[in-house]
Amino acid sequence: MQIAPLNSGSNGNVYYFGKAHESILVDAGLSCKEIEKRFIDLNLDITTVKAIFITHEHSDHIFGLKTFVKKYKTPVYISEKTLNSARLDVPIDLIRFFQSHDQVNIGGFQITAYPTKHDAVDPHGFFISHSGRSAGIFNDIGSACDQVKHYFSKCQAAFLECNYDDLLLENGPYPHHLKERIRGAYGHLSNLDALSLFKNYRSKDLSHLFASHLSAENNDPSKVKELFEKEQTAVQILIAGRKSPGPVIDLELPSRNSKESVGQLSLF
């Protein structure tokens, strides 16, 4: 399975998961034209996209969805509450509703949606597998709840939100109420909170971690990379960018002898 961030941040979120002649997207927060451009930049085939999965209704996750779907006739997997809140003008015959923890099969992909804590009507992350490879989306989460810990512990690769550095946020230009929203239980995940999840709940099969959804004002990519690389693990740490796509990562099969390294999970 190949994975790649097409864009990650408050200016738009699009994530690619592909294998052979089929692929899926999570979110469509860039314009259709820009999504097309980034497929070309990465030498990926946009006609392989079989479905788009939507995490929640905020504009940086659905901005280009209407145009993309009307042009490519791509099915959209979305929760009913999210669709009603977003008021998307998308053909009803292309809408597919999902329920939390149900597995959706798209070609060789298995996609499981799990609920997250964020200030949206019905936010979800996704755990995605194909041919023994697995990856997950862990963005827009105010705190690492049991569901996040559970699915993160199963991943070979992950997009993990590292939205803000505590000091940069505290000393930055945002008004107090916005700072409180960001660092609240239904806001965004800080660098240190993300690091704690990484240290305590990652699988021994985790090979690639994309630090994602970094704030332009309240974070520094070099700080994030240094923070995670201090752990001196074999995990490759990458930054999912706000201005350019990629890189495309090919995931290898996990070792048959490896075991998951997880903390004390309170399963649901």
For 95, half-sphere exposure in the C-beta direction (CA atoms, 13 angstrom radius) is 15
d(CA 11, CA 244): 12
247 preceded by a cis bond (ω within 30 of 0)? yes
pLDDT in tens, 98-149: 999 999 999 999 999 999 999 999 999 999 999 999 999 999 999 999 999 9
pLDDT at 258 over 50: no
Q: Which residues are CB-neighbours of 91 under 8 A, at least 6 positions away?
A: 69, 70
Domain 2-250: CATH class, spelled out: alpha beta
pLDDT in tens, 174-197: 999 999 999 999 999 999 999 999
- Which residue has 């497929």 as its token pair? 39
User: pLDDT value at position 253?
Assistant: 58
| Domain locations in the chain as residue ranges | 2-250
Q: What is the chain's mean pLDDT, rounded?
A: 93
How far, rounded to the nearest angstrom, does the alpha carbon of residue 58 sit from its chain's CA centroid? Answer: 14
pLDDT at 66 over 90: yes
Report residue 266's pLDDT band, with 50, 70 and 90 as the boundaries.
Answer: very low
Report residue 256's pLDDT band, with 50, 70 and 90 as the boundaries.
Answer: very low
pLDDT in tens, 82-100: 999 998 989 999 999 999 9
pLDDT at 261 over 60: no
User: pLDDT value at position 268?
Assistant: 28
Phi–psi pair at 106, nearest 5 degrees: -125, 105
First to last CA, the chain: 28
What count of other Cβ atoms lies within 10 Å of the Cβ of residue 107? 15
User: pLDDT value at position 260?
Assistant: 36
* CB burial readout 51-71, b (16+ within 10 A) else e: bbbbbbbbebbbbbbbebbee
